[in-house]
């Protein structure tokens, strides 16, 4: 845990604050909290807000793991049609809407439906 906390702090410092990135915190007793954003480490305590809006502060020793989850598709910014650097992304988006795919942007593979024995 001593190594994971500094890595989390570096990630938080370098991350873009404009997009909220959800996180998940698992405690050593098995409790799992869904967080609005990654927790802040202050004076050996994790300070965080759950997805329900509740504020908590827990000792670093109580936390087993903190996972940063990928942002939802709805929170990602759509390409700006006025930005010439995003023309490739805009063209790809238009092709997908029409059902056309290329070697550069192939059709997404469907998720596997096979269950492990």
Domain that holds residue 19: 4-68
Quick check: is 26 in a domain? yes
Residue 52, H or E segment:
none
- Chunked mean pLDDT (size 10), the chain, 117 residues: 57 53 90 91 92 92 90 63 79 82 69 61
The predicted structure's pLDDT at residue 16? 46
Burial of 108 (0-12, 13-18, 19+ CB in 10 A): exposed
Quick check: is 27 in a domain? yes
Number of domains in the chain: 1
Quick check: is 103 in a domain? no
Q: Find the CATH number of the domain harbouring 59.
A: 2.30.30.100
Quick check: is 112 in a domain? no
Quote the distance between the C-alpha of residue 100 and its chain's center. 29
Is this prediction's pTM over 0.75? no
Of residues 47, 55, 49, the one with CA closest to residue 34: 49
């Amino acid at each position: 845990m001593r190594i994971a906390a500094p890595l989390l702090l570096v990630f938080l410092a370098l991350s873009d604050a404009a997009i909220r990135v959800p996180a998940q915190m698992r405690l050593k007793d098995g409790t799992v909290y869904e967080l609005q954003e990654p927790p802040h480490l202050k004076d050996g305590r994790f300070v965080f807000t759950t997805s329900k809006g509740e504020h908590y502060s827990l000792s670093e020793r109580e936390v087993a793991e903190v996972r940063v989850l990928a942002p939802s598709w709805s929170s990602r910014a759509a390409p700006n049609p006025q930005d010439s650097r995003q023309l490739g992304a805009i063209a790809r988006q238009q092709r997908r809407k029409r059902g056309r795919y290329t070697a550069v942007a192939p059709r997404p593979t469907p998720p596997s439906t096979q269950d492990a024995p």
